[in-house]
Structure 1
Amino acid sequence: MAHSEAERRAMSRALELAARGPRSRNPQVGAVILSPGGEVLAEGWHRGAGTAHAEVDALSKLPEGGARGATAVVTLEPCNHTGLTGPCSEALLAAGVARVVYAIDDPGKTSGGGAERLRAAGVDVEAGVLADEAGAFLEPWITSFRLGRPHVTVKWAQSLDGRAAATDGTSQWITGAEARADVHRRRAEADAIVVGTGTLLADDPQLTARIDGRLAERQPVPVVIGTSRVPADAAVHRHPANEAVGGQPLVYPTHDLAAVLADLRDRGLHRVFVEGGPTLVSAFLRSGLADRLLVYVAPVLLGGPRLSLDDIGVGTIGDARRLVIDHTATLGDDVLFEARLRERRPWPGKEED
């Protein structure tokens, strides 16, 4: 049975409802309950870990028996496992729902399978309604779920001879305006932008995303990693995205990158853009925590000791971190290499479900 226009409209509405929920390690999900005639009976969305899932939230707004014979329209396949709450597939069955329409499959090994459970009980189930829209909405969460941590993009700029700065430490600007504009565009696509305390103390960066010279509508949350104290007058304290995380930048006085990423994931910051200096960038590479590399190479020679990378755990040529170049682009006089590691090291925190 093909989905109806009423179900399509309900799915669009469910996506709007999903966006009301908090971003966290749990997915944002919305649900709409329709009568057999296509009228909206109830709406719901997930409000965070430990609260009712979207389907149950919607069902709770109906009297007992009010959903019998109804259609549940949900942005994500109803879950089929017991976590902090019970399985939504069982809640839908108990409510007497006759049909379930959802957009995309649950990627979890244990949480998935709700559609199969519902079909086995005689419920009519249809998947894939507005799948592209729902997939785009949930893509950051899905990627983070499959990795078991946020997706990490590591960026640096360097001279043709592999230097991040001149001998005296000056580095603004190695690359030209077009390359810098590309970096700002990518910052605006990220959830968090990360630097080390060394870069912060040396450059006092604003860490904002600017498009055509103006602050982008969407700003990444600023993150600082390192044990040095962040000055009270540092520009990062005035970042417009600080309001989203309590009014101050996220500062982690640690070298434990795994712990930092775990906390960022808990906060719903699934796309992390690392723009630190050689020490922090090298630490992410050494730990196997770089999913994508953006390397901007300027046609300039600097010489001297200030290399763009330091120790990344390669002691001999056989341990070299081989790359796959996915894309190259000429940006003014500069060249961008977009790459990923050919062999990924396992992430110890990756979830099995």
Structure 2
Amino acid sequence: METPAQDTAHMARAVELAAHGRGGTSPNPVVGCVILDAHHDVAGEGFHARAGGPHAEIVALRQAGERARGGTAYVTLEPCDHTGRTGPCSQALLAAGVGRVVIAVADPNPEAAGGAARLRAHGVTVETGVLAEQAEQVNAEWLTFARLGRPHVTWKYAATLDGRSAAADGTSQWITSPEARADVHRLRARSDAIVAGIGTVLADDPRLTARTPGLPERPILRVVVDSAARTPPAARVLDGAAPTLVAIADGTRTDLKADLLRLPRHDDGLDLRRLLAELAARDVVSVFLEGGPTLAGSFLRQGLVDRVVAYVAPALLGSGAAALGDAGVRTIAGAHRFAFDDVSAIGPDLRLIARPAPAPRREK
């Protein structure tokens, strides 16, 4: 039997493997698996690389072969117990004779859950919760999708040291360096949809595509939040390079030739929860929000930002547009609080990655 320290080390490797699947598995989760033989040596490793392809457990079991019998499997997500495009991983682990399975996170999908119970029912030792927080982070997009029924939302912005996203004359290209912009494209490529507001479309005429040399292209949905249907017919976001959805308000008259999604309109704009629900129905697991300050503020007001990626350039403007508009905060006590996950130098700029901080516990 492995020690807790060994369990942690092997699960850390499984989490590392899971990360290799980012950007290729949607609408499935990213999963990593490490299998030890009966002598506690690594016999197989695997990760889920693409939707419809073999799951992490299957890849690792194939590599391990007969050495899996009597061994231990470390899996970042509970092995599935249903037949979809592939068979149940719980059955594959049983057929291989694995004697112990260590799981980081339980599967919240009721259609696929139950693998741990099946394994236990057949005499396999099952332990859960090892490196759960790390496994949750690497699979945050899919877990949000599975638990909340909406896509995970990452808000990205670029700003100067004094928080300006554009100069006083409206110019914003380029605040950050080529290295930072290349990094943005890598993050875009891992998302299922890129969302921008009509203000950004009118000001910058972006393509909202992911240009990542060396990485395989996949269709990324472009979404324009445009309540009054002001998107110009010649806008680059309608160039056919990728599918595009334009979200407009119910009752808006338009001749715009585009895939239109009509949404209810509230006092603070279109119903963004409804937008995300509609995207989830299209198997959009992750959203990369690149809207301007107004749209970002709307998402924050409604509690719909799951991660912030900020690129901060070593420059000062002193005036011009702020990176964030009205986020519904009237006093410091109401600030949207985040916790940093990563701070990295990207060329001459800094990239800050943060997620909502858990609510402080109240003393009883």
* TM-score normalized by the length of structure 2: 0.60
Match of 1:295 in 2: 310
Alpha-carbon distance in 1 for matches of 2:138, 2:330: 42
Q: Deviations over 1:238-283 (max 9, x none)?
A: 24331999x9667565511111111111211111100010011111
Alpha-carbon distance in 2 for matches of 1:195, 1:266: 19
Alpha-carbon distance in 2 for matches of 1:127, 1:192: 37
- Unaligned 5+ residue runs, structure 2? 1-34, 38-45, 59-65, 67-80, 128-135, 247-256
Q: Is the 8 A contact 1:100 1:124 kept in 2?
A: no
Match of 1:172 in 2: 173
Change (3 A) 1:249 1:222: farther
Give the drift of 1:117. Answer: 5.6
3-state DSSP class of the match of 1:241?
coil
Q: Is the 8 A contact 1:226 1:252 kept in 2?
A: no
1:257 to 262, 272, 277: 272
* Greater C-alpha Rg: 1
1:55 aligns with 2:83: yes
Give the drift of 1:3. Answer: 11
**Which aligned pairs between 1:1-353 and structure 2 lie closer than 5 A?**
19=52, 55=83, 73-75=87-89, 107-108=107-108, 112-113=113-114, 115-116=116-117, 120=121, 140-212=141-213, 217-229=217-229, 230-242=231-243, 251=261, 255-343=270-358
Match of 2:78 in 1: none
Give the drift of 1:333. Answer: 2.3
Match of 1:33 in 2: none
Give the drift of 1:189. Answer: 0.9
Change (3 A) 1:115 1:182: closer
3-state DSSP class of the match of 1:172?
coil
Tell me the number of residue pairs that the alignment of Structure 1 and Structure 2 aligns.
279
Give the drift of 1:184. Answer: 0.8
Alpha-carbon distance in 2 for matches of 1:238, 1:326: 36
3-state DSSP class of the match of 1:314?
coil
Alpha-carbon distance in 2 for matches of 1:117, 1:241: 42
Q: Is the 8 A contact 2:159 2:175 kept in 1?
A: yes
Q: Is the 8 A contact 1:292 1:338 kept in 2?
A: yes
Change (3 A) 1:124 1:3: farther
Alpha-carbon distance in 1 for matches of 2:286, 2:84: 29
Change (3 A) 1:106 1:333: closer
Give the drift of 1:116. Answer: 2.6
Alpha-carbon distance in 2 for matches of 1:299, 1:242: 35
* TM-score normalized by the length of structure 1: 0.62
Percent sequence identity over matched residues? 43
Alpha-carbon distance in 1 for matches of 2:336, 2:84: 48
Q: Is the 8 A contact 1:157 1:296 kept in 2?
A: yes
Q: Is the 8 A contact 2:222 2:244 kept in 1?
A: no
RMSD: 4.8
Alpha-carbon distance in 2 for matches of 1:127, 1:238: 52
Letter in 2 for 1:221: L
Change (3 A) 1:109 1:57: closer
3-state DSSP class of the match of 1:296?
strand
- Unaligned 5+ residue runs, structure 1? 5-11, 22-26, 31-37, 39-52, 59-72, 79-97, 129-134, 346-353
- Which stretch shows the higher mean deviation, 135-144 or 106-115? 135-144
Q: Is the 8 A contact 1:100 1:125 kept in 2?
A: no
- Which stretch shows the higher mean deviation, 311-320 or 186-195? 311-320
